[in-house]
Amino acid sequence: MTIFNRSNSSFSSYFIVYAVSLGAALITGCSPESDGQPDNIKEKNAGVASVRRIAEAHISPTEGHESEGVVTFIEEVGGIRVIADIRNLSINGRHGFHIHENGDCSAPDASSAGGHFNPSGEDHAGPDDSRRHVGDLGNLEATEAGSAMYVRVDEHLSFDGLNSIIGKAVVVHDSADDFKSQPSGAAGARIACGVIEWTENFSK
């Protein structure tokens, strides 16, 4: 009896996973470009409930560095889902990852992006601290291949009002954020930067 229940339960799990995968395959396979949304965004959204607007930052290296990638921001109930996909980082390194107050990456060292986005005048802290800069997203953790994936639903971020991150900059740092040092976690040089903008489909 016990054995039967166990195998029955794992069959159900398998079936659910299969059904979700099939659904995602049908969405991407049968309506290519029908809504103008890129396939990579569709895949990220598959299975995510209550998706609304989406913004993105294309991350480019600052002078003398090579890190690059994309950060996607998806509006959800309870906050903004942040999905970062960054490559050419130092191997196994931890890299401070913040939203800075100016959407301007034009300076060779990205100093034009200003300080951490901090509309409520708090001290610098870690992403899980209730009082922090809105822009305090913590660290990227690179693999031995020098790439980092970061996923977090953050309740401090918004697409509207005082905490709106639209038009701000995402900055990746050379060193780890210690979540304590003021004003920016002693995370070192700015090695990559990108401005947060609406994706094509969510332009207003």
171 touches Cu ion (CB under 5 A): yes
Calculate the CA dihedral of residues 197, 169, 144, 82 and round it to 10 degrees. -50
Q: In what order do the strands lie in the sheet with 54-61?
A: 136-141, 94-100, 169-173, 190-198, 54-61, 68-76, 79-87, 148-154
116 touches Zn ion (CB under 5 A): yes
132 touches Cu ion (CB under 5 A): no
Q: Per-residue x/- marks for Cu ion, 92-111, CB under 5 A?
A: ------x-------------
136 touches Zn ion (CB under 5 A): yes
Question: Least separation, in Å, of the C-beta of 133 and Zn ion?
Answer: 3
| Nearest by Cα to 49 from 18, 81, 1, 22 | 81
The conformation of residue 5, written as its DSSP 8-state character, comes to H
The conformation of residue 7, written as its DSSP 8-state character, comes to H
Residue 101 contact among Cu ion, Zn ion, none, beta carbon within 5 to 8 Å by kind: none
81 touches Zn ion (CB under 5 A): no
> Which residue reads 């994936």 in tokens?
149
133 touches Cu ion (CB under 5 A): no
133 touches Zn ion (CB under 5 A): yes
Query: Contact positions toward Cu ion, by CB under 5 A?
Result: 98, 171
